[in-house]
Structure 1
Amino acid sequence: MTTKTLFRAGLALALALPVAAFAADVPQSFTATYQVLKDGGPLGEATVTLKSAGGGQFEYTNQTKGTSGLAAMLGANVSETSRFTWAGQVPQAVSYHYQLDAAVKSKTRDLTVQGGNVQVQDNKKSFTYTAVPGMVERNTLPLALGLALRSGQQQVAFPVAVKQQVENQQFKVSAKEKITVPAGAFDAIRVDRTDADRGFNAWYVPSKYPVPVKLAQKDGGDLTMELVKYEAR
């Protein structure tokens, strides 16, 4: 197991456009706490927070700490911070910062949307490519999915800014399932990624929460995030 494995769960989006009028039903602020599991065993904890950053922008953060196993021994922690503007119900990317700190390694990635381009600094490597209207990034993608589901969509595609390009990632509602997480038992809908075999599954209760109650993906093993607590502010 590597420290990178823990942080692939990091829950997971400015273009040269005017700031969209705020939709009445988009979340303004909240804090969600998750437990992180690796192959069913405890690995860490994550705190996801949304708050206003002023000037029509919002800040969305995911702070993940290794609390068990090798991740705890190495003092592994990751932080992801996104800035975005609401484009309707889509959290449209302004910037994204990723920071991994551990005893044996560190890693950073910065993504900035400026002048119609996406500029990425990945440690010592730089990339530039053209931005796309309505573009999100990996940290706020789960939020974008949750809001699409709440509006009744069964299939959705998002242009997602990754390291070297914009990917058109596609998702669909695959099933209704009863699941139990630390936050409670829910009748949830499961969403799967369909454009690539990435082992991405997320369970949502859109009427209650804009973020998943459970998120699972495969990266050298089964990695899962389960909701512990959600507080609207």
Structure 2
Amino acid sequence: MKCMSKLLALLLLGIGAAQAAAPEQDWTPHQERYSVAWGGIALGEGSISLKPRGADCFDYVSQTTPIALVRWSYGEPREASRFCVKDGAIVPQHFEYTVSGNSKDNFTLDFSEDGRRIKRLQGGTVTELSVTPPVYDRFVVREAIRIWAMQHAGEIGAEQEFTVLETGQPKTYRYAIKAREKVQTEAGSFDSIRVERVDNPKKIQRYWIAPSRHYAVVRVEHLYKGKQQLMMSLRP
């Protein structure tokens, strides 16, 4: 009985320690800078910022500043999501994509309060869709993946589906926590959690999330048929 009591005590102690060590969501305003490359060719720099917008709501913005040749031919893309946090979960409100000099690609998404209806505006055409929440825009889904990975940091192999709306109908993708490993960036080397999209072997997305930087994404890779397309690396 004494041995069993000791075992139970150790188990309870371990559970308590794990609960105490569980990371909390950090919504401190911040801005991270990245170098951006496509197909191994440097495109320029990008930044991702998070700023509060009222109680438990935030503006999440990505701004890319391409090198001159890319800027002249394509423009400067900007993605902005507005979302709130309810019971620890991200609730999208509004998304807009704009690119200077190429307005035909611009579009916005507006989410109803209950998340069951989304209005998309593109090229003067309004489309309304009925959806089953949660559905994310293509940018804020990165925050949803980051929060999920933070909550399950010790569960290598854990998987989760995320549904995203961009154009057309919502699409569902599956991500997995693949490893804890060290990753090299322009800002240095970080112990990280590697998360990958795993539902399509031809289209792989990888995110390296660093606990030491409040679980920020420090490196991103998108691959198509094994070849690197997009790469983002944290800058100093």
Q: Tell me whether the two structures share a fold, i.e. TM-score over 0.5.
A: yes
Q: Secondary structure at the match of 1:54?
A: coil
Distance (whole Å) between structure 2 residues aligned to residue 40 and residue 164 of structure 1: 30
Residue 77 of structure 2 corresponds to residue 78 of structure 1: yes
TM-score under structure 2 length normalisation: 0.76
Distance (whole Å) between structure 2 residues aligned to residue 58 and residue 142 of structure 1: 14
Q: Secondary structure at the match of 2:216?
A: coil
Residue 170 of structure 1 corresponds to 174
Residue 78 of structure 1, CA deviation: 1.0
Q: Secondary structure at the match of 1:143?
A: helix
Q: CA, structure 1 residues 39+164, in 2 after alignment: closer, same or farther (shift >3 Å)?
A: closer
What are the equivalent positions in structure 2 for 1:122-201 lying under 5 Å apart?
A: 122-152=122-152, 154-196=158-200, 197-201=202-206
Q: Secondary structure at the match of 1:74?
A: helix
Residue 3 of structure 1 corresponds to none
Q: Deviations over 1:197-233 (max 9, x none)?
A: 423111112353333111111479622011114xxxx
User: Which 5+ residue runs of structure 2 have no aligned equivalent?
Assistant: 1-22
Q: Which amino acid aligns with 1:186?
A: F
Relative CO higher for 1 or 2, CA cutoff 8 Å, sep ≥ 6? 1
Task: Work out which of the two has the higher radius of gyration on C-alpha atoms and give 1 or 2.
Answer: 2
Q: Secondary structure at the match of 2:234?
A: strand
Contact 2:221 2:228 in 1 (8 A): no
Residue 24 of structure 1, CA deviation: 5.9
Q: CA, structure 1 residues 133+175, in 2 after alignment: closer, same or farther (shift >3 Å)?
A: same
Contact 2:181 2:192 in 1 (8 A): yes
User: Which 5+ residue runs of structure 1 have no aligned equivalent?
Assistant: 1-22
Q: CA, structure 1 residues 24+212, in 2 after alignment: closer, same or farther (shift >3 Å)?
A: closer
Q: CA, structure 1 residues 161+39, in 2 after alignment: closer, same or farther (shift >3 Å)?
A: closer
Aligned counterpart for 2:233 among listed residues 209, 226, 233: 226
Residue 18 of structure 1 corresponds to none
Q: Percent identity?
A: 23
Instruction: Pick the structure with more helix per residue.
Output: 2
Q: Deviations over 1:58-105 (max 9, x none)?
A: 11111111125x313437201111111113333211010100113xx3
Q: CA, structure 1 residues 177+194, in 2 after alignment: closer, same or farther (shift >3 Å)?
A: same
Contact 1:39 1:223 in 2 (8 A): yes
Distance (whole Å) between structure 2 residues aligned to residue 25 and residue 178 of structure 1: 22
Residue 47 of structure 1, CA deviation: 1.0
Aligned counterpart for 2:109 among listed residues 108, 111, 124: 111
Q: CA, structure 1 residues 114+222, in 2 after alignment: closer, same or farther (shift >3 Å)?
A: same
Contact 1:61 1:79 in 2 (8 A): yes
Q: CA, structure 1 residues 218+123, in 2 after alignment: closer, same or farther (shift >3 Å)?
A: farther
